[in-house]
Chains A and B, each alone.
Chain A
């Protein structure tokens, strides 16, 4: 039986196409269920390749993508029913992760019809037979998965998203600048802080001497999220910092504290009321005043009226068909050079050694190829799932103009819709990843 991949998956050319199914199953339930199917002589298609892991909680989302990369036409992930996990809660964690990861895959344009999740117990040999038979037939109908990372060059797609018209931007220094400098002068003179992390003329200004506070500015182009500097070892070595935050940046502090990356009493927060800094993210922003600062400066006059609101790029993206979305991303990622600016500017990317820098094993293909770029972007977005506060630094820093923030927005929405969670807003809210609820939604799991 030939299983050659045909160019366009047309059914009539698929006579003899045998789909390859990769199944990641947990050792204690589904694997034994498959075994039971075998010992009770229940026949099921041989198209499935089973990969056994101790628990679905161990399944890195990467493995789902890798299944497709090595030639699978469909991927199945299966484990114990909720409540029956051999390790008590592994499948609950997995379920929560799958809820989010599916959204990310959908945003990227993966064919969700080829990704399946099931609960199959050790006693359900019959269910295993049914599931494999159905998935195999379904995938045979769908044809080979030729769309993986396809940039649609043949079909003339590679649709662009609508961009905002170039609104005239008038640079202005804001009134609170003087008060800010005065505050910082006092903080440094008193020794309350040893260093101020603030905005400067052409980038951040790290000020350690009171007489240098003139370098600090506060204007309507103070874009960057300065909380990213709190993790840098050279900054930490200087002593207790004061960090200047806009209300959007302040949310990063909430998340960092929740993740034990900083102790609130060890930093001094100067919150600036903000009217927007000319970025698309500001249009949809509702947080204009700082909430947790040690000191708040400035008065927000409230959001400026939207005469010409920019188009909602995320909505436009999700309005495309999945294959169009994948072509869109393939075209974007083609420009990625793996400079990792997106990672370095992000306050939440604080791992001492990033997964892409690990080499035993090499989990993420380090090449700036289509596969390598998708692998990195998937890892980055998913490692930030429900942790990203939407500061947009990643998109701003990208020298290739890739719409990275859209991936983070997708996961942010998923966390909001499914778990009512908005990273960085409520310090008391339980983080999404790393916890679970018994009633986490299940409709996509068979």
Chain B
């Protein structure tokens, strides 16, 4: 973490390996380190985030949504919504962007070993779930049944759709996808409903699962009672929070949610931790 005499604010230069448009306003990007030595020595834990930048425009915080087992690249996924993401929207293969990281804590994949995993996500919350899913599939023996319930407002807003298909082909993996009522297309074959309700209908039978739920506050709020009914303790439920960030390393004083700094104490929190936080996010 401590870079000695280095400039802790200076990013690594990354070359864009590929850009993929996921939805009308979401793209996913794969990057590789230009500096070979850095590429060799770089590692991260799934769940950590990076600060990605477009030179001339600024920096933005995104989860590193690729598996930590992939050594040739890191990936991030973003929605075009402001100054920096508008600039990132224009990048193409071989362009150069900046990356600072990995920052924050990651998912405690070791602690999750031996458990069934339940992933619940809404919309743009799929990328931070995706990295954990791939990691778990690559270390398949360590984890039990994997259930993924993923929904978006409309069919067009679902991201990583092809990977959802791929995951479903794996052993003991169940993928349930849904769209909000009114968001379905005539040929939609998945569920219709909000993620919490669809999850309840899915009747996941699991003893002592670990649950990762990421999405808007309302979604999380509605999911908790269902988990409670299932007998899942708040300490076994995880989430990843986000807030406006600038430095990403705990100095600029901006991202705190009450006493917790998502960039240092998070972004991964247990529900127990989240529920102890004041309404500051």
Contact = CB atoms under 8 A, between A and B. Distances in A.
- Within the complex, are A and B direct neighbours (CB within 8 Å)? yes
Interface of A: 359-360
Nearest to B84: A359
Contacts of A359: 58, 82-83
Nearest to A360: B83
6 contacts: A359-B58, A359-B82, A359-B83, A360-B82, A360-B83, A360-B86
Interface of B: 58, 82-83, 86
Contacts of A360: 82-83, 86
Q: Which 3 A-B residue pairings sit nearest by Cβ, starting from the closest?
A: A359-B83, A360-B83, A360-B86
The dominant DSSP class at the A interface is loop
Nearest to B87: A360
A360 B82 CA distance: 8
A359 B82 CA distance: 9
A309 B222 CA distance: 70
* Of listed B82, B83, B86, residue having the most chain A CB within 10 A: B83
A360 B89 CA distance: 14
Nearest to A358: B83
A180 to B, nearest CB: 39
A360 B81 CA distance: 11
Contacts of B58: 359
A360 B83 CA distance: 6
Contacts of B82: 359-360
A374 to B, nearest CB: 22
A353 to B, nearest CB: 13
B4 to A, nearest CB: 29
A360 B86 CA distance: 10
A444 to B, nearest CB: 37
Contacts of B86: 360
B39 to A, nearest CB: 32
A360 B54 CA distance: 14
Nearest to B58: A359
B179 to A, nearest CB: 31
A292 B227 CA distance: 63
Nearest to A362: B83
B86 to A, nearest CB: 7
Nearest to A361: B83
A359 B83 CA distance: 7
B73 to A, nearest CB: 30
A12 B32 CA distance: 56
A357 to B, nearest CB: 12
Nearest to A359: B83
Contacts of B83: 359-360
A365 to B, nearest CB: 14
A324 B26 CA distance: 54
B125 to A, nearest CB: 25
B58 to A, nearest CB: 8
A151 B83 CA distance: 34
A407 to B, nearest CB: 30
B71 to A, nearest CB: 36
B237 to A, nearest CB: 36
B88 to A, nearest CB: 13
A183 to B, nearest CB: 39
A118 B136 CA distance: 71
A360 B58 CA distance: 11
B180 to A, nearest CB: 30
A425 to B, nearest CB: 42
A179 B58 CA distance: 57
A359 B58 CA distance: 10
A359 B54 CA distance: 14
A189 B60 CA distance: 52
A360 B80 CA distance: 13
A359 B87 CA distance: 12
A384 to B, nearest CB: 27
A166 B82 CA distance: 51
A37 B83 CA distance: 40
A360 B56 CA distance: 12
A363 to B, nearest CB: 12
A199 to B, nearest CB: 33
A175 to B, nearest CB: 48
A5 to B, nearest CB: 26
A320 B86 CA distance: 47
A16 B241 CA distance: 61
B57 to A, nearest CB: 9
